[in-house]
Amino acid sequence: MKKVYFDSAATSQLRNEVIHTMTNVLKTEYGNPSSTHTYGRSSKSLLENCRKEIAKLFNVQASEIIFTSGGTEADNLAIQSCVRNLGVQTIITSKLEHHAVLHTVESLQKKEGVEVLYVNHKEDSSIDIDYFETLLKKCKNKTLVSLMHVNNEIGTLLPIEKIASISKENGALLHSDMVQSIGHFKTDFGKVPIDFAAASAHKFHGPKGVGFAFVRKNSGLKPLIVGGGQERGLRAGTEAVYAIAGMTEALKIAYQNLDDEKQYIASLKEYFKTELTKSINNVTFNGLSGDSEQSTYSILSVNLPIPEDKAQLLVFQLDLKGIACSQGSACQSGSDEGSHVLKQILSPYKLKNPSIRFSFSCFNTKPEIDYVIKTLKEFVEN
């Protein structure tokens, strides 16, 4: 059976170089970076080199990179500590955020009584920046803005530089979930005044269970996970040295190849869009996912004109044909609650249709797209 992996926004295939790096580190660097003997010092030096290399990519200091278990922890570290330790009483965020942010904010609202305000999105999923500014200007308390750079379901690209300057002009702290952005877009934290950001290695062809938080110097943040004094006192526990080495390798390659891969992946997405529109009548693209300027180049969320009761079947059928993609609307997700993002942006009529997210990577090809479109067409017509 053919195997087609169009789910890179969920997690991505590891690069061979990353596997090679991790294997070497697993074999040779088994000292605990906290130990003072030769083995420990060697692991520590590897870790600190990784930190320096990552910091260089974003034009920040090595001490501003904190290794974590992934994006979720990096989001939690910043948001929770802002409320618990930095006196933040109001959070401005969006209903289109990932649950790593949304549920964190909701729990702080419940447990700590923090005020939560949501920005408005236009019908196409773009942010209403004027409303955001008005909302922020009205905030009297110390405020944290938490807005993602790239939306994981519909790919919408937020104007993070603008959001950062508005946040700073109004004295707010800014956190950005950059899990779908880091490794795909390059943000210069030396220039863009973001205070905290979250990254996850498995979104850029690195290993799972590792990521990092960018935490601006002298932020005053306190650890979420307490214990030893690792990660500059901001995150306790022995670091996953091999995974951090793999993540660093993955990130370096991602940025070395950025322009070429961006162009290649964008051409795949464009081809998919064009061919799908030609093959199936009344297909639409959710949010701004079909727009090449205002969305990322790798995510396309498709709304298919088929009856609601066929939705679940479609996803099974695609899986049976070896096609991996993500389902994205309430009607398709069986027992779970469905996509909170699509519920926010789609009309009730469209929400009934199955929405599927296809996300592409440098490992995909046009013949794979042809195969998926042929399979979708057969399904829709039968």
Please report, as ranges, the residues that interact with ligand PMP according to CB under 6 A.
70-72, 98, 100, 148, 152, 177, 179-180, 200, 211
Handedness of CA 71, 329, 341, 159 (dihedral sign): positive
Q: Determine how many CB atoms are found less than 10 A away from the CB of residue 180.
A: 27
Q: Determine how many CB atoms are found less than 10 A away from the CB of residue 307.
A: 10
Coarse DSSP helix, strand, coil percentages of the chain, rounded to the nearest 5 percent: 45, 15, 40
CB 301 within 8 A of CB 355: yes
Look up residue 257 and give its amino acid. Answer: N
Rg (C-alpha) for the chain, rounded Å, is 21
Instruction: Specify whether 362 is catalytic.
Output: no
| CA–CA separation, 35 and 272 (whole Å) | 52
DSSP-assigned letters across all residues of 23-41:
HHHHHH--S-TT--SHHHH
Cβ at position 101, least distance to ligand PMP in Å: 7
Question: Toward ligand PMP, which CB reaches closer, 156 or 375?
Answer: 156
Cβ at position 274, least distance to ligand PMP in Å: 26
CB 173 within 8 A of CB 143: yes
Cβ at position 148, least distance to ligand PMP in Å: 6
Based on the number of CB atoms within 10 Å of its own CB, is 107 exposed (0-12), middle (13-18) or buried (19 or more)? Answer: middle
Based on the number of CB atoms within 10 Å of its own CB, is 248 exposed (0-12), middle (13-18) or buried (19 or more)? Answer: buried
Cβ at position 179, least distance to ligand PMP in Å: 4
Instruction: Given the residues 50, 82, 325, 331, select the one marked as catalytic.
Output: 331
| CA–CA separation, 339 and 275 (whole Å) | 26
Q: Determine how many CB atoms are found less than 10 A away from the CB of residue 340.
A: 15
Active-site positions read 331
